[in-house]
A and B are shown apart, each in its own frame.
Chain A
């Protein structure tokens, strides 16, 4: 998994590529912990994300909880396969998916 960060004022975009699983999810968690302090608008670009497991969903959920308190969060570029995982788990109702 690779994470490309783009920061523009209070807006942060994280483009996540590859596999977000039990092994890699802690890396994303660490980036969020480091970068989120003064962020008001968080975007996850998932157009090159191939795979997400419940470990990845957990990181998204805690990011959503945090951003509910300090701004907004959205997810873009979701593929059909990953959308199905969001739908099965009810995450499609929690996340703002564009």
Chain B
């Protein structure tokens, strides 16, 4: 298990992505799954950086995002499948993104709201998205299963 604590700041997205990708590389995660996990990581981290804390200069933003990467029990019984779990913790405003209704994907470009896609995309491309609020922390974790090459 590897853990990174960073300031909850969008500008640090590359640092977070690099940290996660180094771990995925160790786990032998194939390129397609890496891209999908990067997407989930970006959506979740940017959400924390943008909305978890009350203001841009909130001192709680310092060290306000913790990201953990660990190999997980595969969701499938397939011996050729492995899993990784990525967990995000913040000490910000309680918010359960999994409780949000999915956007309507059938509307035309004109009627489509700009935004609201991030968590929907995360739910679609991850095999599990789990939220809990514990000890004053939002804890959001995603699991991705991938084939061993």
Contact = CB atoms under 8 A, between A and B. Distances in A.
A41 to B, nearest CB: 17
Contacts of A31: none
Nearest to B113: A61
Contact of A53 (B43, B112, B120): B43
A21 B13 contact: yes
Given A57-B117, A85-B121, A89-B120, A65 B109 contact: yes
A58 B39 contact: no
A22 B106 contact: no
Contacts of A89: 105, 117, 120-121, 124
Interface string B40-59: 00110010000000000000
B32 interface: yes
B125 interface: yes
A51 B10 CA distance: 18
Given A51-B35, A53-B39, A85-B39, A90 B106 contact: yes
Chain B CB within 10 A, most for which of A21, A53, A65, A94: A53
Given A53-B43, A61-B112, A81 B32 contact: yes
A53 B42 contact: yes
Interface in A1-42: 21-23
B38 interface: yes
Nearest to B107: A90
Contact of B124 (A21, A22, A88): A88
Contacts of A85: 39, 121, 125
A64 B46 contact: no
B42 A21 contact: yes
A47 interface: no
24 contacts: A21-B13, A22-B42, A50-B35, A51-B35, A51-B39, A53-B42, A53-B43, A54-B117, A54-B118, A54-B121, A55-B46, A58-B117, A61-B114, A62-B114, A65-B109, A81-B32, A85-B121, A85-B125, A88-B124, A89-B117, A89-B121, A89-B124, A90-B106, A94-B108
Interface of B: 10-11, 13-14, 31-32, 35, 38-39, 42-43, 46, 105-106, 108-110, 112, 114-115, 117-118, 120-121, 124-125
